[in-house]
Amino acid sequence: MARFKVYLEYEGSRYSGWQVQKNARTVQGDLINAAKKIFNTNKIEFYGSGRTDAGVHALLQVAHLDVQTMLAPEIIRMKLNDELPADINIIEIEKAHKNFHARHDAVGRSYLYQISRRRTAFGKRYVWWVKDKLDFKRMVEASKLFVGMKNLASFTADDEEEKSTKVLIEDIEMREVGDLILIRIYGSHFLWKLVRQIVGVIVEVGRGKLSSEKVQQYLHLKSDEPAKYTAPPSGLFLEHVYYKGDKTLRSLEPTMNIIKSPFGKL
């Protein structure tokens, strides 16, 4: 059995998330089905670095593929892309050590969230359009409250796989690009709906409907209130998965030109 490291991207609008589910279309499910056709076997494992929710996109997801084959990585990449729908794309495949694990070996991840301050005909599947006026300075101040090792029990839905709600948020970067607000969150790992609830609370602060003091209360006492502010999946992208030796991203840009062009020049 050979193991391969797979780098891929996907547009999540049509999928019920990454993980295989009964009676639902998922990214992992489409990958496994494509691999079964290519290798003509059911003995396949396609294991991702982490799950993404329904409607969430990935600029760079990492997975490992286990399969018995003599095909070269580049041939596998081309054959998989021939079988996959247009909204899933394999960027690169390389041979991996037999002990490499896409999830367990990851040392960090970054997510990008895109907020639009105007209605857009082109990017509505990739942004959250917030109609209310937003105070960017207050949003930045609120974002700093999440940085560090925090108990984020108030900012996640129940997840049986997670035994601890303590997460190291290494940094939150924010930038205005025309009518877009970009939020990048670096973390050791992420709980279910964590990024969307953090973003939702930051937006409520920007709207003037939540105070920084209230956010601090959420961080110290378990509350169900942040769930009410959960941001929609459309604006969320798994941006990068980090392994030992990887360099941290520096520039903070819109995800693609089709998003960038309607919102003005950089």
Q: Could you list the active site residues?
A: 53
**What are residue 186's DSSP bridge partners?**
110, 171
Per-residue exposure over 164-183, b if at least 16 CB sit within 10 Å of its own CB, e if not: ebebebeebbbbebbbbbbb
Residues 6+ apart with CB under 8 A from 83: 33, 34, 37, 38
**Other Cβ atoms closer than 10 A to 117:** 19
| Distance in angstroms (rounded) separating the CA atoms of residues 105 and 3 | 14
| Distance in angstroms (rounded) separating the CA atoms of residues 208 and 215 | 12
Residues 6+ apart with CB under 8 A from 109: 49, 50, 186, 187, 189, 190, 238, 239, 240, 241, 242
**Residue 45 in contact with residue 65, Cβ under 8 Å?**
yes
**Residue closest to 101 by CA, chosen among 29, 161, 49, 35:** 49
